Structure 1
Amino acid sequence: MFDILYTVGAFLLAISLLVAVHEFGHYWVARRLGVKILRFSIGFGKPLWKKTFGEDQTEFVIASLPLGGYVKMLDGREGDVAEDEAHRAFDRQSLRTRFAIVFAGPAFNFIFAIVAYWMMFVIGIQGVVPVVGEVSENTPAAQAGLATGQKIIAIGGKDTPIWDVALESILPVIVDRSRVEMFLENKDGTTFTTELDLSQTTQEMEPGKLFDILGFLPFREELKAIIGRVVDDSAAAKAGLQENDKIIRIDEHAINNWTDLVEVVSVRPDEDMLLLIERDGREMEIPTHTMSAEQDGKMVGKLGIGPFVSDANRVLYRYDAFAALSQGWDKCWSNAWLTLKMLGKIISGEVSVKNLSGPLNIAVYAGYSANAGFARFLDFLAIVSISLGILNLLPVPVLDGGHLMFYLIEAIKGSPVSEKVELIGQQIGIAALVLLMSVALYNDFVRLLS
């Protein structure tokens, strides 16, 4: 239950924050350009909290459905406007002013992403050094000469100190089905350059299939059954287990590695068990009673311990404050461009619609990233903020991009589009969004069920 509440909490925090950033963009620019703001709302539906501020008595609201928000401005199309305030109505503003106000929402999403990436790089993220694991025969990786144990030094001329950077560098190559130069280091320390050719791959790009397309797996060091962390007030803590204890046997089950340990404990929630451990070269028996926790809809056993993980293949990936700003800028726009390309290929049918994610999948990753630390959560917030910015810039009526499209038409023809055209466009836009959300939700349910 705690895992579910934690995931939901992380999701609501992320969405509320990103919606607030987006709507603040509209609000701040509108205020700066002299437009009167009537309401600033985070969420839809019944207000949970409401307060008025400022000379204009702007109403700030937190509503019951946090999956969106809006800024309501003084507008003659939505009601009568006093003559002395007509100059502050949104519909009375110049085309340039209206364009700036509408564009500000997505723009603030991109600005937020750059700031989040900057903070992430300054704090630093713990990552695993990219080392090649098992290589499948007759695959692009095998044809490029990749072998188990090789360290990936650079891809496409960009250094790859951790797997996160390596995957970011290789993902555009997969999307474009192109070639890329890789610089690798053998086990003996010698280095070489090779070309990974994905131009002839025919396998469809789907979530979880990235390494299938490449033809190799990341190297994973087998975790020994040695305790690296004991959670306070857990079953392990109450039993007296300590860091560096090696678990040899649980009841009659021999424990050879951490996988064996998890398999034995997870199927025994709320049960007594006897552990044989090795501590400081001496073996001893320790009785304990497992905790019970809900995971993926079922109850599992837990001791409240984490494995000892060697730092040999882990590094802290970070930059100083000045370099982090440049890196944040580059990462924001490279991810934005990749998102646009993916979206274009989905629309054209070159990439499967299975790559679309909805709120359920986003919620799951919100929980994962929040649990992995603040820097990882910033990374998650940035990529979702970029996605929201791009989504809102799509030329779909009812979205910011739809309004901007109408403004461009107005600039070309010299007059606003008719209310009838705008209404038809909004109906088409709503239908398109419903279809998009339906596909995304279907994908979410399929992933959760599988």
Structure 2
Amino acid sequence: MSDLIGSIWWMVVALGVLVTFHEFGHYWVARRCGVHVLRFSVGFGKPLWMRRNRRGTEFAVAAIPLGGYVKMLDEAEGEVPTARLSQAFNRKPVLQRIAVVAAGPIANLILCVALLWAMFVIGKQDYAPVVGQAEGIAAASGLRPGDRLLAVDERGVATWTDAAMALTAAAMDRHDPQLRVEDVSGRVQTRSLGLSQLPAGFDEANVAGQAGLRWQFALAPAQISDIAKGSAADGVLKPGDLITAVDGQPVRSADQVQPLVQQLGERGERGMIEVDREGARLALEIAPQRGQDADGKQVWRLGITLSSGQRPAFDAVQRYGVFGAVPMAFRETGRLTADSLGMMRRMLTGAASLKNISGPVTIAQVANASAKRGVDWFLYFLALLSLSLAIINLLPIPVLDGGHLLYYLIELVKGSPLSERAMAAGQYFGLAVLAGLMGLAFYNDILRLVT
């Protein structure tokens, strides 16, 4: 229940901020162009709160928080008194109308840069792109535990988030990216990761995992939570011990322990278990005991239970000064824009699944998860959502800002407005496209919930 309430709350907060900035862009430029604004509304439907300023503009917060609008004086919307015709939107020069319409998406773009700047000043916490395990395609490509990714093709990666996005794009393009990695000895080498070998219909949400690559931070630590009485470990190991090696073989995660213990037991010898006990490194001699698993198969055990473990603390922080964060914010905005446009291109060409289109349910869940991670992650989420809102609104689909801009650009070239019939046909087409996209987004949301 708390997750549901949190998801709804943070989605309302996120959409409220983004919609307010978007509509304020339209409002501010409209006022500068001498257009009279009748209403500035955040949300649709019946107003929950409203006030009127001295210019006669109504400011409202409405019941349905899934958008907003700026209603301007316009002869297409109703009769305009003769004395106020000069303040009507439709009477303004085409360049001014273009400026008013484009101001909304531009405001979201500016907000994206500002949010990323704030995020970098605070410090974006993340995990280092260090390989924890390499199997299958990753191992065949030469990746080894402890390798740190420095770049995917020519794209530098400072965190696992950067690396995951770059690898996902390469997999969708059926491209084998060149990875620049630094191994445990500090040598920098290049590896070619064979992502083109992934099967058709691979899970785009887990490209690294399907290639056999597991990140270091995602591996549960081999920390002992309990020891069985009379077992091989009783009196030797203690709860809280972190196993770092078994018989000389380094241990980086809990799932490595049992196979190494099995190998040690099959040799019929005593071995050394290295542990970290409250900061002290110890090497303890122990002999596994023979037992049976649930299927009656012979196994060798120490008699320990490893903690399920929680995700470790972040180990990579991208933080810059007030001035240093400015170019980084612009650079990150450019990179996110390229990624977003690339994803749209891939969905149009069929290289990426349409399952990547998300609706309000997914947005709410991600908003809640981001807020739980901290202010830096929520700012990143807001920036990405603001950028997405700007890009979507600039699509040349009638009903959206981009559709209106298309009409005005045609008018600019043609020298006269499109006919009312052509504009009406475009509006119907735009509504049909928008309804289809919204239907697909809701379908994907429901499918994710069900599965």
Query: Which category describes the TM-score, using the shorter chain as reference length?
Result: 0.7 to 0.9
Residue aligning to 1:134 = 133
Cα 1:221–1:81 shift into 2, 3 Å = same
Give 1:121 deviation, angstroms: 0.7
Residue aligning to 1:267 = none
Any conservation in 1 of the 2:10–2:364 contact (CA below 8 Å)? yes
Give 1:405 deviation, angstroms: 0.9
Give 1:307 deviation, angstroms: 6.4
CA–CA separation in structure 1 for the residues paired with 2:203 and 2:28 = 40
**Percent of pairs with identical residues:** 40
Give 1:344 deviation, angstroms: 2.1
After TM superposition, the structure 1 = structure 2 runs for residues 152-301 of structure 1, keeping only pairs within 5 Å, are: 152-198=149-195, 203-204=200-201, 206-212=203-209, 214-219=211-216, 220-223=218-221
Higher alpha-carbon Rg: 2
Residue aligning to 1:385 = 386
Residue aligning to 1:348 = 349
CA–CA separation in structure 2 for the residues paired with 1:187 and 1:225 = 23
Cα 1:349–1:330 shift into 2, 3 Å = same
Residue aligning to 1:79 = 78
Letter matched to residue 44 of structure 1: F
Letter matched to residue 50 of structure 2: K
1:29 matches 2:26:
no
Any conservation in 2 of the 1:226–1:308 contact (CA below 8 Å)? no
CA–CA separation in structure 2 for the residues paired with 1:307 and 1:32 = 58
Any conservation in 2 of the 1:113–1:382 contact (CA below 8 Å)? yes
CA–CA separation in structure 1 for the residues paired with 2:241 and 2:168 = 40
CA–CA separation in structure 2 for the residues paired with 1:57 and 1:136 = 67
Cα 1:203–1:326 shift into 2, 3 Å = farther
> 2:144 aligns to what SS in structure 1?
coil
Any conservation in 2 of the 1:224–1:308 contact (CA below 8 Å)? no
Residue aligning to 1:49 = 49
Letter matched to residue 72 of structure 2: M
The number of residues matched between the two structures is: 379
CA–CA separation in structure 1 for the residues paired with 2:254 and 2:10 = 29
Give 1:66 deviation, angstroms: 0.6
Give 1:188 deviation, angstroms: 3.0
Give 1:189 deviation, angstroms: 3.0
Any conservation in 1 of the 2:168–2:204 contact (CA below 8 Å)? no
Letter matched to residue 23 of structure 1: E
Cα 1:370–1:247 shift into 2, 3 Å = farther
1:149 matches 2:156:
no
CA–CA separation in structure 2 for the residues paired with 1:377 and 1:13 = 11
Moved more, 168-177 or 142-151: 168-177
Give the TM-score of the pair, scaled to structure 1: 0.77
Give 1:32 deviation, angstroms: 1.2
1:184-243 deviation line (CA, Å, top 9, x unaligned): 12223333122335456553464423224544221234246699xxxxxxxxxxxxxxxx
> 1:208 aligns to what SS in structure 2?
helix
CA–CA separation in structure 1 for the residues paired with 2:24 and 2:156 = 37
Residue aligning to 1:95 = 94
> 1:148 aligns to what SS in structure 2?
coil
Letter matched to residue 30 of structure 1: A
CA–CA separation in structure 2 for the residues paired with 1:436 and 1:187 = 47
CA–CA separation in structure 2 for the residues paired with 1:173 and 1:48 = 47
CA–CA separation in structure 2 for the residues paired with 1:156 and 1:354 = 26
Cα 1:67–1:447 shift into 2, 3 Å = same
> 1:187 aligns to what SS in structure 2?
coil
> 1:415 aligns to what SS in structure 2?
coil
CA–CA separation in structure 1 for the residues paired with 2:413 and 2:224 = 69
Residue aligning to 1:61 = 60
Letter matched to residue 366 of structure 1: A
1:126-179 deviation line (CA, Å, top 9, x unaligned): 221111133232x2x344311222122333345433212323444443343334
CA–CA separation in structure 1 for the residues paired with 2:153 and 2:348 = 28
1:38-75 deviation line (CA, Å, top 9, x unaligned): 1000001011000011x312100000001010000111
CA–CA separation in structure 2 for the residues paired with 1:144 and 1:122 = 37
> 1:370 aligns to what SS in structure 2?
helix
> 1:380 aligns to what SS in structure 2?
helix
Give 1:350 deviation, angstroms: 2.3
Letter matched to residue 5 of structure 1: I
Any conservation in 1 of the 2:45–2:63 contact (CA below 8 Å)? yes
Any conservation in 1 of the 2:220–2:309 contact (CA below 8 Å)? no
Cα 1:434–1:37 shift into 2, 3 Å = same
> 2:323 aligns to what SS in structure 1?
helix
Any conservation in 2 of the 1:151–1:184 contact (CA below 8 Å)? yes
CA–CA separation in structure 2 for the residues paired with 1:136 and 1:412 = 58
> 2:193 aligns to what SS in structure 1?
strand
CA–CA separation in structure 1 for the residues paired with 2:92 and 2:278 = 75
Moved more, 372-381 or 334-343: 334-343
Any conservation in 1 of the 2:220–2:311 contact (CA below 8 Å)? no
1:335 matches 2:336:
yes
Residue aligning to 1:107 = 106
Cα 1:279–1:154 shift into 2, 3 Å = closer
Any conservation in 1 of the 2:167–2:207 contact (CA below 8 Å)? no
Structure 2 unpaired stretches of 5+:
226-238, 243-252, 256-276, 280-307
CA–CA separation in structure 2 for the residues paired with 1:104 and 1:365 = 27
1:250-279 deviation line (CA, Å, top 9, x unaligned): xxxxxxx999xxxxxxxxxxxxxxxxxx99
